[in-house]
Structures are given as C-alpha cells and as structure tokens.
Chains A and B, each alone.
Chain A
Amino acid sequence: MNNKHVAVIGGGIAGMEAASVLARQGLKVTLIEKQANTGGKLNDWDHLFPDFSSPDELVNSLANKTKDSGVNTVCNTEISRIERNGKRFELRANQDVRFFADAVLVASGFNVFDATIKEEYGYGLFGNVITSVDFEKRMKKHGQLHTIQGTAPKRVAIIHCVGSRDAKVGNTYCSKVCCITGIKQAIEISEMLPDCEVFCFYMDLRLYGSKFDSLYLQAQKRHKIQFIRGRLSEAAERADKSIQIKAEDTLQGRPLRMTVDMVILLVGMEPGVSTSQLIQKNQMTVDENGFLKSANMHCARNQSTQEGIFMTGTAICPMAVNETLENARSAATEIIHFFENRRP
C-alpha cells in the first residue's frame, strides 16, 4: 500500500484533514488547491459558530498537520478533468499540468448562492443589502458594521433561506448551516451595537447541531433578537438608502412592512460549478440537488459512483465545519480500505 498515490482535489478543510490522515498512514498524497492558499471558505469567515472560535487558528493547525505528515501541497492549480486510465487516474489542470494517482478524493467544496438571482431582494442594486458572506468578510477586515452611508445601523433584518428551500430558484434543499450562521451574526451585531434591533425572518429554524439550540435561546433571552416567521417577498430602497421590506407574518397571519437600515441575506450552499466538469470523463454522477452522489447513502457515503474516486466535505452535501472534518476522516478510512482490499 505504501507506494500508492492519492490525489486530493480541493484544499479546503475537508481536503486538508483527509490528506493528513492518509499521509500519516504512509500513502503518497498530493493536495491540489486552485487558490493561492489552502483553507477554502474558512479563510473568509471571521468567527465560527457555535463557539465563536477562530477559523484562522483551525486552518493553521490543519496546515501544520498536512505539512508535518508529508503531504505534497500544490496551490494555484485547478483540476478540470479526472480521466480513468486502467486502474489509475489522470488528473488534468488547466495549464498542461497533469497528475497521476491510484485513487482520487474530491473535496472541491460548495459555491455560495448568487443572491442577484433573487432580484426582488435587491442585492447588487441597493447598497445596504448584503449577504452573510459579505458580513463575515467585513467583520474580518474592519471588525465593525456600517451602512453604505457610513453610519451604524439601528435596525437590521436577517433573511433566512435565500437560495435554499426555494423551488423558484431551483434549489429545494436546506443548506443546514445558514440558520445558525444567522443567529451567530445576530448575536455579534447585538454585542457590537447594543442599541441595534435585529430581526430574523425565517420559515422554520433548523438548529440541528449540538449547542445550536442554546445559542438560539441566548439570542432570544440575552440579546432580544426578534424572530419573525415569514418569508420576505420584496425589498425596496428608499431615498435615504434605508430598505423597506415586505413579508407575510405567517404566525400572526398578516402582511408586514418594515423599514430597516440594513438587510443581511443568509445565502445558501450550491454544488460547486467545477464539479460538473470534473464528472465528465468518468462515471461520477450527481444527486437530485446537484451534489456528488454517493455509491450508498449509508454505508458508502464517501464512495462516488466511479470506483476509485472518493469524495468528502461539502462536495457531498451542506455541512458545518465539525461534520466536514469527521467526514474527511471517514473518507480517509474508506480509501485505506479500498487499497487493502485491492491486492494486486
């Protein structure tokens, strides 16, 4: 097994964790990342739910683990194609760069929903409508939140399920992490700006993870965040750049209109676009939501429909950081089993 070579596509936390586990087992591992640095989306986040820990620390420790275990990390290289060649695989990057491997692990992650598609929310048109991703980036960069006029917002509306659970945009699944992201961001705003009123517009709250519920209680009790059940129908910019939003309060059963200084759209997760090219020259397939399909939902979650190609992390379905890391370790285990059972 020691001379076997595994190529890991995608240097997000899923790829990093799996690569280091595999390398520690003595396999030759190449981790290929299209960006200049590994870490994936976490490089953009300011704090992680549910414990407000630092994503940078996590990414750094993962980077050290990969380095110490002997993973060969190649950045600035985007894999565009995986071709099967007998028992081996040939991976091609854009510029005549090729990799050869005995097994492939796809950890290419997710894409953030493009909020301009939901035009009625005015993203890209109204300066005070931002996404949860913008929020993280701004907080990381400036450590504070401002409206486009440069003032501190007095009222913020956080909109759940933007681009998820919405047949009109073609995504009917739940992105899982945005409810809790919204709660985390609401708490952060209220800690930063104690006078600011924060409203969350949700359809239902999906707080599935450990410690998620206590965060929710904390938001209600300590931070007086107001949760309104109702889907936003539209947003409009007023002359003073504030945003008027319309929704239906489905618990009270009446239409609701409100003016806020800022709107944060909790954008959902979409399948990575590049995966659609990755699956072209092999037998990988996608599920009904467009994410990579497992050979078996229960007992072969990390096996793709093409023998020898595995996958992990949010390339399979939406997941949070801790799930992603667990999933990466399980993928590594499956790859090791694969080599053990395939005696030449």
Chain B
Amino acid sequence: MEKLIILPFSIGFIYLLGILGFRVVKWVGGLSRLDKLRLIHSFKTRRFFDSIKEVFMEGLLHRKIFRKNPVLGYMHMSLAFGWFLLIVVGHIEVMVSRQSLIAPIYLPVFFRYFETDHSFMLSGIFSFLMDLLLLFVLSGVALALLKRFKKKLFGMKKTTRLKTGDRIALLSLWMIFPLRLLSEGMSAGLYGNGSFLTSTLGHIFGNLNSETANLSLWTAYSCSLGFFFAALPNSRYMHIPTEILLIFVRNAGVKLKKRNNTYTNIQVFSCSRCGLCLDNCQLSAAGINNTQSVYILKNIRNHNLSDEQLFNCLLCGKCEVDCPVGINTIDLRITQRIESTRQYNSSYKYLEDGPVPKADTVYFAGCMTHLTPGIIASMKKLFHLAGENVWFMDEEKAPCCGRPLMLAGQYEAASKLIANNTRKIIGSGAKKLVVSCPICYKVFKEDYELANVEVVFHAEYILNLLQQEIIALKKGSDRIIYHDPCELGRGMGMYEPPREVLRTTGKVIPIKNEKHMAHCCGGSLGNLKISQVERSLLRNQAVEDYLRYRPDVLATACPMCKKTFSRHPNLKVLDISEAVANALQISSDQESTKEKMKLEIHEFELI
C-alpha cells in the first residue's frame, strides 16, 4: 500500500524513457549515412571526451550563460547541476545504507519516506549534504520565479511566451522541489532523519506532523515528478536531453546542408527558449517582434511556421552569437526557406556557353558591386598598379553569384548560376578569384567547388599588395570607424584584414559594437519582407551609435552596406578599396577620381 506513492513517478518516468528512446533512435536513424558514420567514428576519437566535457560544462554548469549574465547562469546551473548532484549523492547514500551496489531507481527519490531508521554509516553527513543540495536547487527555483516577474534583474529585455504544454511542465517543475522540501521536512519531524534544513522545518510543523499528512505530501511530490516527466517531451524542457544528443552529433561534424534532415529536429528540440537571442536582434528596433530565432524554432517544432515570419529576418547572425546551445540559426533558417519555397522554374537560357578568356586572376564584382561603380573603379586601379593579368568576368553581362537566390530559398535556380560561373572560372585557367562583395565571397567559399582556384576577398588582396610593397599609401589623420558587414564578419569570421588595410590610410577607432557584435546595416538581402522605412530605422540605429565616436569616415567592406549607409546625411561612407585608392592618389599628387571627373566636366564647359 505504502509503495503506491511511487506510482505517479514511475509511470511518468517510464513514459519519458520510452519517448526519449524512440526519439533518439528516430533522430539518429534519420541522419544521412555519412553523418551516421561520422557519429560512430567520433565515439572512437578524442571528440567523444570533448563532448562529455561539453555536456558537463554547458548542459550542467551552463558556462556560456554564466559569461553573458552571472545571475541567469547561476539560475540554470543551480537547477541543472544541483538536481544532477541530488541524484548522484542520493544514489550513493542509498548504496551505502543498503550496502549494495544495486538499488531500485525510485528509492533515492523517496529515500526519506522509506528509510525511517536513520543510523547507517555517515548518515549524518549524507543528510547534511542532501539538505545543502536541496537548498541549492531551491535557490534556483526562487530565481526562476523571480525571472518570470522581473526579467530586467536578469539583464534581459524580453522573455519568451509560453504555451499550455510548457505551462504544465513549468508549474510541475516549480512544485517538485518545494514539495520535496515539505515532505522531507514532515518526515524529519516524524522520524528525525533530516538535517539543518529539513529538521528545522519539521520542528516548525510541530503538531501538524502526522502520518496521513506525510503520505499526502509525498504523494503530491511524486505526482509533480510524474507530471513533469510526462509533460517534458511536449514541452520546451525536451531541450535538456536533446542538447546532450546535439553536442555529440555536432562534435561529430554533422552540418545542415540546405536540406532538412533529423539534425534539424535535434537542433529545434535543443532550444531551451532562454530568449537570449531576442536581445541581440535588431528587428525589434523596427517594431518586428515575432520573427526571431526562438519563435522560428518553436514554430518549426509546432508545424505552424508562416512565410511572413520565415522571411522577415536579416540573416545577420547576431542571434547565433549568444545562443548558449550553439544552434546554427542561420543555416536552419536558410534550409527552411529552401524547403518551403516553390522552386521557381527558370531556364536561365541567357547563360550562354561562350568562350572564356585566359587569365591569371579573375575579378567577379557581383550585382551589388555593380551598384557602386566607385568600388569597381578603385579595384580596376589597384589591378592596374599591381600589373595583374585579370579578367573582369562580369563586366559586361553579369550573372549573379547565386547567394541572393539561396537566401531567398531558390536553391535550384542558384545551382544553375553556380554551375555556369564555375565552368567559366575554371575555364579561364586562373589561380585566383578576387571578389569585392562579402555576399559573393561567402557563396564562392562555401558552395562552389573551384578545384585549386583560390577565392580571395578584396581586403586580403589589397593587404597583400601593401605587405608586398606593390602599392604604398599616404597615411592621413582621418578617424575611421570600420563597420563589419554581417556576411563577412559573423558570416565568414573575417575581422582583421579590412582593419589592417584601413590602418594604413588613417586611424581606426575601436568601438563597443564591433566584430561579432557589430550592427547590421539594415540593407540585408536576406530579408524579403521588411519595408524600406523599417530598414531605415535599423540603419539609423547603427549610424547613431557610430556618430557618437565622431568619425570622419565610416568604412566598410561591402557594397550593400556602403549603399545603405550612403543615404544617411552627414556621414562620409567609403569602401576599403576606395579608401585605399584615395590614399594612393594623394601620394601621387593626383585628385581622387571624383574630383578629376568634375574637373573634366568643368574643362568641357569651358570649351
């Protein structure tokens, strides 16, 4: 009869184990053959231990959250690590008291209910430890309660919205440890098996202590556990077990490759909905508040993702930076776009197979650089000075690099362009492909197979010219702020080469929001839904931040960013190539191209 109290717990627990087992088999089974081999192989290498360590550091200690915000980190750690220790120490306690290595799973959970006689070895120390750990966990629960009502305290501006499954799980989770405290306190009052926390509570209960009250408290405790376990698979707490799987799969080198597979599910279910990604997202400055990563992940999971949300995102990657779980939100979103988009059937007949000239170097300006002829003029000038044998591949007819289509989810159309460009680049026999747009750079690096043609970003190319002393610049006194383009910085991890180039032309001032925390200019090609007015709100937010440092020049390395910023009054915007070309001209006593042109026009007028 007494044993009935373990029923709710056991049912919930067995149900949970069943579901988890089922999901692991389904998810791992759904990976591609190659990915499965990768996973199996990883178990035999050091990666396995790396994963174990990561599970411990991130899953239990929540180190990343700690770094971002100690209070929030403590909350997660006390709940996860505290509970983990309660289980471990509880088991050891049972083993010691039973003097056996095998103990039923439920026993440590309800130990103080069943073990009324309390005189085994070290029992005092154990009960002290268990009380301490319980206190540790309870402090986390208290913080979690506080967070729901006072999120500012946690350095967060927003928290996520809840749905019913989550509510049940959340409520039962909040109940578990307070109920455990009450039950253990009551038992301590009745049988004297507690320590500083539970005994004191037992004393306070005084006359309230009774066998029936005790039984009902323990039953309630068991129920809250049972409910929590039962609700877990359908709540956000599914992230706890899934994150462990994610760590192993990710460390094995599995990646999303433009097509959904179960790695999508593993990532989606790993999101703890901590909401850290909300705070970094600039869209809220334009009043867009329902398209951020956390909501997208939730909607993918609930099968109710709308195009409106999916495509209203800058793909700037700022949300990835702080995600404690390390979810690749950008890959996920692009894949989702590809999957959800009807492939627009283009024959691309105009991509004819004409002859390809031979050259050492190919320059691909791309659609965006074609909108900023100043960058093209500067690049031409630099190629000329470097004596480069260069073929300007898209000077006349401009096929696109394919990335904008990719961002829009048009994978097949993008593939046609990629194939066409690949043929030309390889056909030219060049060893080097120079690009001046980060959007192109990313797709050439990641989605093209160009054999031994090296893809070089213009910042690297120019830096090399400077280091080889092929060109020399006159350093000016301009205060320069360098704006990291999303696709180049967070997208490709290139932060230093453009800065090094700029340091040869003026003074690059460090600012707070730079590198991986840099703003998005708002011009992003990734967002297919945002209006021009909303874009200008994002741009103004970035510009206002930059203007606080009183720069003479806002430099960037992306034609898109340049165009977006140029429209803002009272700001001089230059691409690094233009900054370099200008510094060149000063040194050789020539006016800048623009000035020269004006002069020519003027001369003409005098005729």
Contact = CB atoms under 8 A, between A and B. Distances in A.
Interface of A: 117, 119-120, 122, 124-127, 130, 134, 137-138, 141-142, 146, 148, 150, 167-170, 233-237, 244, 246, 255, 257
Contact of A236 (B350, B370, B533): B370
Given A170-B536, A170-B567, A127 B372 contact: no
A189 B604 CA distance: 18
Nearest to B372: A119
Given A127-B601, A168-B532, A119 B373 contact: yes
Interface in B42-88: none
B390 to A, nearest CB: 14
Contact of A234 (B370, B374, B566, B567): B370
B171 interface: no
B396 to A, nearest CB: 7
Nearest to A235: B373
B532 A167 contact: yes
Contact of A124 (B370, B396, B533, B597): B597
Contact of B597 (A119, A126, A255): A126
Contacts of B388: none
Given A119-B563, A169-B567, A127 B597 contact: yes
A134 B533 CA distance: 31
B371 A120 contact: yes
A124 B536 contact: no
Contact of A148 (B377, B536, B567, B600): B600
A127 to B, nearest CB: 5
Interface in B577-607: 593-594, 597-598, 600-601, 604-605, 607
How extensive is the interface on chain B, given as a class?
20 to 34
8 contacts: A125-B594, A134-B601, A148-B604, A167-B532, A169-B567, A170-B567, A236-B373, A237-B373
Contacts of B566: 117, 119
A246 B371 CA distance: 11
Interface in B17-37: none
Interface of B: 350, 370-374, 376-377, 395-398, 531-533, 536, 563, 566-567, 593-594, 597-598, 600-601, 604-605, 607
A142 B532 contact: no
Nearest to B604: A148
Given A117-B566, A119-B566, 12 more contacts: A122-B373, A125-B594, A126-B373, A126-B597, A141-B605, A148-B600, A170-B532, A233-B371, A236-B395, A237-B373, A244-B396, A257-B397
A110 B397 CA distance: 39
B579 to A, nearest CB: 16
Given A125-B593, A167-B532, A168-B532, A142 B607 contact: yes
Between A117, A120, A130, A237, the greatest number of chain B beta carbons within 10 A of the residue's beta carbon is seen for: A120
A120 B601 contact: no
A134 B605 CA distance: 10
A119 B604 contact: no
B334 to A, nearest CB: 25
Contacts of B350: 255
Contacts of B532: 167-168, 170
